[in-house]
Structure formats: C-alpha cells, structure tokens
Structure 1
Amino acid sequence: MTGKNWDHANSIILHGMEKIYVQTGDESYLKYIQSFVDDYVSTAGEVSGLKEELDGIHPGVLCLFLYQETGEERYRVAAQRMRDYLIGLIDAPSVFNKTPDGGYWHKNNDHYEQVMTVDGAYMANPFLVKYGRMFGDSRSIDVAVFQTLLIASHTFDISTHLPYHGWDYTKHHSWSHPITGTSTEVWSRSVGWFSMALVDMLEYLPDTHPDYARMMHLYQELVQGIVATQTDEGMWYQMMLKPNLVGNYLESSGTGMMLYALQKGKQSGWLANDCDWTIDRAWEALQGYIRVYSDGMPLITSFNPGMGIKDNAEEYVKVRPVDCPSERDHQHAHGYCAILMAASVMEF
C-alpha cells in the first residue's frame, strides 16, 4: 500500500481486490480490505483522514462493499458520512468548492481552482450511484449523473469520441484553451478512469432514471473512440491521439482500465460483438506487462505514475513509465489497480 492513507491511491488497489473476492470467494481478500478500512473507520462509523478532494471520496466504495458483506452498521454510517461530506446537508453544507455551473473542483486548492477533471468522475460518482441504489437516495444518484454529464459536456470531443483530461472554468490555467477551457490532450489513464466510471455507474443506475439513455449513449460513444485508437500491439498509447509523438509509449494502466470497461460493457449487453477482437487483443497484450519481482510476487510494468494535467503532449510523455513494486522509486498504485480490474472481468 502507499503512504497516502484514506485516499484513492490505496482504495483503487483494494477495490480491485474486492472484484477478485467477488469472483473467487477467497476470504483473505475480504480480511485484507477490512483491515485497511478499520484503521480509518471507528466502531461508531466516524471516518478519519477525510480530504477536501474527490480522490478522498473513492474509499467510500470499500465501506459499501464491507456493509454488504458483513452487515456491520459502522460501514453504512461511514458511507453516509462520506456522502454527506461531499454533497452536504441543510445544516452542514458541503466543504467542496464548485464551478459556477455546479461542477466539483477536483481538489480544493489553487492548482485546481475552478478545474474539473474526467478522473474525478471515477473518484466520486460510482460511489454515489451505488450508495443511492443501496439506500434509496435519489439525491446521490442525481448528483453523480449531473457531475458526469457536466464534465462530459465540457471535455468530450465528438470528432474523436474521447475526452480531454480536464476543463478550466476560468480559462486562465496554463494548459487551458483560451476559448473552451479544455486541456490540450487526451491522456490514456484519464480515459481509463472515465470509462470505468461510466460502466460502474450504469451497473447501479436505474434504467428508469431520466438520464439513463444519455449515460448509455455517452458510454457507447466513448467506446468508439477507445476502439479506434487501439494500437496493433493491442495496447493504448500514453497520448492516445499522437502515436508518432517522440517519446510516446504504450501504457499499461490506461489499457487495463479501458479493457475492464469494454469487457464489463460486453458482459452487460451494452456493446455489439464487434468489440471482441479489441478486447481479446488488449488482454493478450496486457498480460505481457505482468512479470515476476525478486520476491516471487507480481511485477507490473510500464505504467504512468500519478500526475495532474500537463500543458502539452511533450510534458505528458516526459513523465516516464514506472514499475510496481520498485526498488528505487515511490510505489504507485495505478498499475496494480488496472491489472486487478481487468483480470476480474477477463479471468472468471
């Protein structure tokens, strides 16, 4: 695990383990997840380490999972506290800043002032939709759908069927387009986050919801862009639309996330069978990025470490791929998350 505590950097790995547990029933996964969560959730359901950023909301999915598996009330209370922390109550408004049109800033700091990211859709919205479905809270569902469609309206390029990494309401950030406010590039892992957000939301979004058809259409449009940019090797580039860019590289975390979203859509009946070849090639290629570390455990290779929005494509590829675990670098969770999520839908 990483040293980021109650944050997506840890919960994305554990959420991947959750997916494997559901498929295998191996109690060791459940116990490992529960051990982590119990370090931050008290017996009364109080959550320590909450942050004013969407990345800190993602661990809420683990609380929902543990409540389903154990029935322990503290996990339900913890999930409710996180829901209320993000959305707010009449007597306790949300501490999260919003753009004038209602979108959550990715983080409450100057670097993300008036900025939404497509990554943020994954960090909060599947949690809200699942929470709403489990506990009959239509407000949570509506907020999640609104936030998802809002960021799509600002970042989704209908010509490529892919979203730009982020959007700046002020158009003043160094990376933002002076007219549209969008960032300049389509980054593989941000597309991965967004694709996983859509399928995980659609899993729990009632088909009677007034925006269900829009959400499904958005997912199917995104799939077109994903399929069109797959490489001959079966992977996706760090910069998906610039395969010939000097320094560009095949990136395993975005590939694993997009593969998860494609296969889950296929299994759910949301995609035509003509995606089979794309899925099969991606899974075959991705397995080549799983090797054996010196301790005999899995080593995940060639994935981009954590980073924010960059000014241009050259800055994105300047951040070189890493392995996990690493003997000389910080440990980055994204590689493990993507492999676990992909394996959960491909191996069972």
Structure 2
Amino acid sequence: MMKAINHILKISLLSLVTAFAVSCDVKEKKETTDKEVTTKDTAVPTDLKWSERMMLSEIHRFPEASKLDFVDVPRWSYTNGLVLTATERVYKKYPKEVYYNYIYEYADTMVTKDGTIRTYDLDKQNLDMLKSGDVLLYLYNKTKEERFLTALHTLRSQIDTQPRTSDGGFWHKKRYTNQMWLDGLYMAEPFYAQYTKQFSKGEEATKAFDEIVLQFDLIQQHTLDPTTNLLYHGWDESKEQQWANKETGTSPNFWSRAMGWYGMAMVDVLDFLPEDHPGRERIIEYLNQYAEAITKVQDSKTGVWYQVLDKGAGNGNYLEATGSCMFTYTFTKGVKKGYLPEKYLDVAKKAYDGILENFITVEENGVVNLNKCCAVAGLGGNPYRDGTFEYYVNEKIRANDPKGTGPFVMASLALDK
C-alpha cells in the first residue's frame, strides 16, 4: 500500500516539476518574443551616440537621399550635400554600409552614365548647387567612376563663368544681381578649395586659392558691422535692392543661420587651403573675431542662439536650432584644429547641452527630432523678402530641417557626444 502511495507521490511531483519547467519555458519564450517585437519596432537604437542616432533618423525619414528636404522628386541641391557630408563623416567613424550606401545612391540617382547632373542648370549660376559637389569629390576618390569626374568638372566650370561684383566677389545667383550672401561662402568655397587641392597644379592652383581667400576678404569688408563684429546676411553692390542700406548696401539684420553658414565655411575651407598660403592666417583672424562676436549674443540661460542674433528680446524672436547647431560645430572644430582658444570649447559644450534640452525630442521608436528650425530665409525674390526683423521671425518653423540635422550630426561627432 505504502509503495503505491509513494509511486503516486513521485508521479505527482514529477508532473509539477515538468509543468513548472514548461511554464518557465513558455514565459522565457514570451519574454524573448516581446523583446524581438520591441527591437523590431525600434527604428533607431537608443544606445548609440547622437551622431548615429540622428543620421539613422534622417535615413528613416528620407530613405532616398535625393529626396531630402521634404521633396517628392529627386533633386540636386545644397541640403543633400550638407547632410551627406555629415553622413560621410559618420561613415568614417562608424563604417557601416548603410551610411555609404546612402551617399552612393544619391550620386547614382543624380548623375547619369555620361556624367550629366539631373536637375542641375549651369545657366542659373547658383552657388548653392556647388555644395553637393563635395559628395562627388568623396565618391570619385573611392570609386574612380568617370561619370563622377565629368560631373565634377561641370560644377567647377560654373566658377569660371560665375558673375562677379566689380571687386571679384561671386554673385550668390545670376538672378540676384550684384549680391554677395554669407550663405554663398559655405556653398562654394570648401568645394572650390577641395577641388583645387585635388586637381589643380602650379599657377592654376595659386590663382584659385587666391580667389577663394578673396571671397572671405570681401565678405568681411562689405558685411561686417564694426560695432558688434557680427556680419549682415547680404550685401548689394548696386544698393538698389529694397533691403539694401543706401550707404553701405548691407541687409538690415544679423540672421543666425547666415552667420552659421559663414562659420562653417571658414573652418571647412581651412582643411584644404595650403599651410603656407598668406590668406590662411587672415581667415583664422576672421574666425577668432567671429567667435568672440557670436559668444556675446549667446543666450546665457539656454546656451543657444536666437533667430535674429542681437534682438533676443524682440517680439516674436525665438531660440533657433539650425544656427545653434552650426555655431556649435564651428566652435568645436575651430578649437580642435587649433584655430580658436580652448575657452570656445566650453561655449560649444554649453550650446550642445542647450540643443539637447531645447530642441531634441525622441519618439517611441527611437527616431530623433530636431525642432524649432527656420525652414528657409533669404533676400529679395518673389514674394519679396525685405530682411526686416519681422520677416525673419515670421518665416516658417519646422522640425528636422536638414540645414539643422546635418550640422547637429557634425557637432555631435566633433564633440563625440
């Protein structure tokens, strides 16, 4: 009788152990499944550094790099070149194929087999269109595809025919007659300098580097405000534009992103300007003067900058993301390259913390957003943009403008955040 009872107890105990084991296994499988679902639903991993998180977020938002900047059809434009320059730098540090493919597919889409650049119109003489030439310089060095070289030569030819002011300054576009804009220094000069370093020799190279430095000399001469050392957005040599000061030809305000473009132009062009070129030290002096002026108008509470730099208290003015990212990148690179004193790295770090606090949000799927970006601003055109304070603060504000996300990635890389 006792043997029978013991046998029954053993069977019961074995059944309980087996049931518990199965239960645990089911629970473990469920947890694993939940984890897999969570990972699958995460578009951007949150354990990466901010540079990769934003870069992957851009790829998530714009799977085709040719449609960056919220457009429906592929186009050749400066915003593509800006973001893909950032992508190139991410790829250099984190060599994942997703980054290289993103760069290559843009050029593959936009450059035909015979080297024609789709949607690019040389006759418009638009400096903005040179910025994506940086992408081709990078890809030609890696692939040696002849079509990329042909396209590069086409872009370089634009500089030879670019309309100029009487003292040699590039017009921003053919339709913006007699005008230099701060934006144009970033769009044209790093490309021009890198192309020259790579392809030009002797007297041809010397002449090109002299002309590049001249653009910085002229923009300083014509747009610098001697009181604040800030630079006005644009200058009209003819003084005929409605926005132009009738005595100086300058536009009336200091726009954050315009000065952001200019700062990035200085630190990037120095990568390619020969060490012994006499204009190199001048550009570094301009950069130091610039850094001091920009620091003076940094918002002391948040560490970032206003849309109209010197009028933080103005009605409707706001803390703006794209210019703030550009300044942060400029200061960080300037210090790390030895162009700026160490104190400006503290300025950059404060600004970066302010960007994270005031502009960055993260969605449930890990996608990173950069908010409070001025969508676009310019001078003249139709409808007419008069460069007033009211004009700048009332332009459209949006999230994830590539003119902000690109510099945010580059600043994040430079600071290794």
Could you tell me the TM-score, scaled by structure 1's length? 0.90
Q: Give per-residue Cα distances to partners, 1:172-209, cap 9 Å, x unaligned.
A: 11111110000111111001000000000011111211
Residue in 2 aligned with 1:316?
Answer: 392
Residue in 1 aligned with 2:188?
Answer: 124
- The residue type paired with residue 81 of structure 1 is T
Are 1:75 and 2:148 counterparts? yes
Q: Using the alignment, how far apart are the partners of 2:413 and 2:110 within structure 1?
A: 26
Residue in 1 aligned with 2:120?
Answer: 50
Q: Is the 8 A contact 1:168 1:176 kept in 2?
A: yes
Match of 1:172 among 240, 244, 247: 240
Match of 1:272 among 341, 344, 358: 341
Residue in 1 aligned with 2:257?
Answer: 189
- The residue type paired with residue 249 of structure 1 is Y
Q: Using the alignment, how far apart are the partners of 1:259 and 1:320 within structure 2?
A: 23
Residue in 2 aligned with 1:100?
Answer: 166
Larger Rg: 2
Residue in 2 aligned with 1:327?
Answer: none
Residue in 2 aligned with 1:200?
Answer: 268
Match of 2:101 among 7, 14, 31: 31
Listed as ranges, the gaps of 5+ residues in structure 1 are 88-93, 325-331
Mean Cα displacement is larger for which, 277-286 or 146-155? 146-155
Calculate percent identity across the aligned residue pairs: 33
Are 1:86 and 2:171 counterparts? no
Q: Is the 8 A contact 1:131 1:140 kept in 2?
A: no
- The residue type paired with residue 302 of structure 1 is K
Give 1:333 deviation, angstroms.
Answer: 2.3
Residue in 2 aligned with 1:91?
Answer: none
Give 1:320 deviation, angstroms.
Answer: 4.4
Give 1:315 deviation, angstroms.
Answer: 1.4
Residue in 2 aligned with 1:5?
Answer: 75
Residue in 1 aligned with 2:316?
Answer: 247
Q: Using the alignment, how far apart are the partners of 1:36 and 1:54 within structure 2?
A: 20
Q: Using the alignment, how far apart are the partners of 1:69 and 1:265 within structure 2?
A: 27
Q: Give per-residue Cα distances to partners, 1:119-165, cap 9 Å, x unaligned.
A: 01000110001111122341432322222221221102233222100
Give 1:296 deviation, angstroms.
Answer: 4.1
Residue in 2 aligned with 1:209?
Answer: 277
Match of 1:21 among 84, 91, 98: 91
Q: Is the 8 A contact 1:18 1:29 kept in 2?
A: yes
Residue in 2 aligned with 1:301?
Answer: 371
Q: Using the alignment, how far apart are the partners of 1:320 and 1:281 within structure 2?
A: 27
Could you tell me the TM-score, scaled by structure 2's length? 0.76
Q: Using the alignment, how far apart are the partners of 2:224 and 2:295 within structure 1?
A: 16
Are 1:337 and 2:378 counterparts? no
Equivalent pairs, count = 332
Give 1:293 deviation, angstroms.
Answer: 4.2
When the two chains are superposed, the root-mean-square deviation of aligned CA atoms in Å is 1.7
Mean Cα displacement is larger for which, 118-127 or 36-45? 36-45
Residue in 2 aligned with 1:90?
Answer: none
**Local SS of the residue matching 1:167:** strand
Give 1:230 deviation, angstroms.
Answer: 1.0
